[in-house]
Amino acid sequence: MGRHLEELSRSFHYESSIGVDPVAFVHRFSADPKAAEIMGIYASTIAVGNVLSIRRNLEELLRVMGGDPRGFVEGFPRRRWRTQLGAWKHRWIRAEQMGFLAVRLGEVYENYPGGLEEVFLDDQEGALTPDYFPSGLDALSRALRWGSTDLRHTFYEPPPGYLHLFPSPRGPGSAPVCKRLSLFARWMVRTGAPDLGLWKRVPPSILHVPLDTHVYWISYHIGLTRRKTRTWRTVEEITAALRRWDPVDPVRFDFALAHTGISGDCPKKPLLSVCGKCALRPDCDLWVRRAPRRAG
């Protein structure tokens, strides 16, 4: 399987796929790490649903920000967080939630000179191992959800639905996959395409896969997991399988897997005209177990 994952990664058209991915908005600000980090947290937070809708609403959000995410957060009028972004929305995510996120980010940068990377590290000393990753996400979640204890005025109460935007893998019960925060971390940490490598103190070896529906579908059918539901345990299982092939950078396969699903290159059924050229075909149980049929 590792050889086939490598083949998929080598043959994948990264440039064209980056252009339709939310990470393209982060690349616009790569010369200013703080602006890129801010754009990254906004872009990953609304990375839900159809990529065309995500891109359209990110473009509109950036327009309302005046094209300057750093200046938007640094000069944000905190008492007007409910109305500052007007009628903007993306699916169930609303303008007031994104306005409140600006309040929380402003607080982060006031209290943590190293920004969200410093929050992620949470005073951790010494070498980081993969076991630390959920703790780092939990630290990000807590900072973005609750902030510090001195912001308890009425106008700083989170709006409805805001807290659900930043779940933690340390949550009770069956922990969520935390796809969006994991995606943000991948953008910030990895240096290879399509990521930016802006965080220098976090090694890519500890990253966990940002588990969307496409990555889960393909991972399940090529045997990276046999779990029937998407939970944090599923994330850990898939990441552990990928780490066997690349312990230094296990999630470098994530973008190719995700966009193989997003683009329709995985038809979710054995179809010779499409599957015949797929590098993962020898590992896919849909192909192996069922007789393929021709298109049309």
- Span 225-252, pLDDT tens digits: 999 999 999 999 999 999 999 999 999 9
The string of DSSP codes covering the chain is: -HHHHHHHHHH--HHHHHTTSTHHHHHTTTTSHHHHHHHHHHHHHT--S-HHHHHHHHHHHHHHTTT-HHHHHHT--GGGTTTTTTT-EETTEEHHHHHHHHHHHHHHHHH-TTHHHHHHHTT--S---GGGHHHHHHHHHHHHHH--TT--SGGGSPPTTSGGGS--TTSSSS----HHHHHHHHHHH--STT-----SSS-GGG------HHHHHHHHHTTS---SS-SHHHHHHHHHHHHHH-SSSGGGGHHHHHHHHHTT-S-SS-BHHHHTT-TTGGG-HHHHHS--B---
Average pLDDT, the chain: 91
Percent share of the chain, pLDDT over 90: 79
Per-residue pLDDT of 153-204, as tens digits, reads: 445 689 999 999 999 998 665 689 999 999 999 999 999 999 999 999 999 9
What pLDDT, on the 0 to 100 scale, is given for residue 208?
98
- pTM for the model stands at 0.93
Instruction: Pick 115 or 275 by higher pLDDT.
Output: 115
Average pLDDT over residues 30-49: 97
- Confidence category of residue 272, pLDDT binned at 50, 70, 90: confident
- Confidence category of residue 287, pLDDT binned at 50, 70, 90: confident
